[in-house]
């Protein structure tokens, strides 16, 4: 058996559970679980909720723009949009005058569903934020942005 040359961790860590990436993934998994549970009560999935939020902020986004904003593939967003349309929460024209993109818009029912779901989502975010001292929130958000930029995203 060969001798292994251990690779030094990027910061002091006793095991994998102390690594930044592990802890970020653990936080993301906890957030996703809480969101899944809360949104289920509103008949929505996390990607559907993200789509509704994006369309509320920027009506008329295309499938590709929505996919990027919701962190899903274009194919997945097609399925999300189709489900939202069938539920009467989103409207899209069947054809467009130029290009292939079909701009999507919230319906009144979609806006109502979003408002109800948003309360549940914001309660979860409030719960996370209350776990840290208020003076550190701005720093935490800036640190997360810097880590994302460091990875080229």
Residue 32 lies in a domain: no
DSSP structure class, residue 106:
E
Q: How far apart are CA 3 and CA 123, in angstroms?
A: 52
pLDDT, tens digit, for every residue of 64-76?
999 999 999 999 9
Q: How far apart are CA 98 and CA 15, in angstroms?
A: 55
**SS3 call for 105:** strand
Which tokens in the block code for residue 149? Answer: 């930029």
Contact 90, 106 (CB under 8 A): yes
- Which range of residues forms the domain containing residue 124? 44-150
Residue 143 lies in a domain: yes
Per-residue confidence (pLDDT) for residue 23, from 0 to 100: 93
Range 82-85, long-range pairs (CB < 8 A, 24+ positions): 83/48, 84/48, 84/51, 84/52, 84/110
**Which CATH number belongs to the domain containing residue 100 in this structure?**
1.10.10.10
- Least Cα distance to 121 among 28, 23, 24, 42 occurs for 42
Q: Residue 86 pLDDT more than 80?
A: yes
Which tokens in the block code for residue 100? Answer: 């292939």
Residue 68 lies in a domain: yes
Name the percent of the chain in helix, strand, coil, to the closest 5: 65, 5, 35
Residue 121 lies in a domain: yes
pTM equals 0.85
What does the pLDDT average to over 105-132? 96
Residue 34 lies in a domain: no
């Amino acid at each position: 058996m060969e001798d292994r040359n251990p690779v030094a961790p990027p910061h002091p860590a006793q095991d994998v559970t102390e690594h930044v990436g592990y802890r970020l993934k653990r936080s993301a998994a906890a957030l996703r679980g809480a969101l899944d549970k809360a949104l289920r009560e509103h008949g929505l999935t996390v990607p559907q909720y993200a789509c509704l939020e994006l369309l509320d902020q920027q009506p008329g986004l295309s499938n590709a723009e929505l996919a990027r904003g919701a962190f899903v593939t274009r194919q997945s967003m097609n399925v999300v949009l189709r489900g939202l349309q069938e539920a009467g929460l989103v409207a899209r024209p069947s054809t467009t005058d130029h290009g292939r993109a079909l701009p999507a818009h919230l319906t009144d029912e979609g806006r109502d569903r979003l408002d109800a779901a948003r309360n549940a989502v914001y309660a979860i975010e409030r719960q996370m934020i209350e776990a840290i001292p208020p003076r550190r929130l701005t720093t935490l958000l800036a640190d997360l942005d810097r880590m994302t930029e460091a990875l080229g995203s």
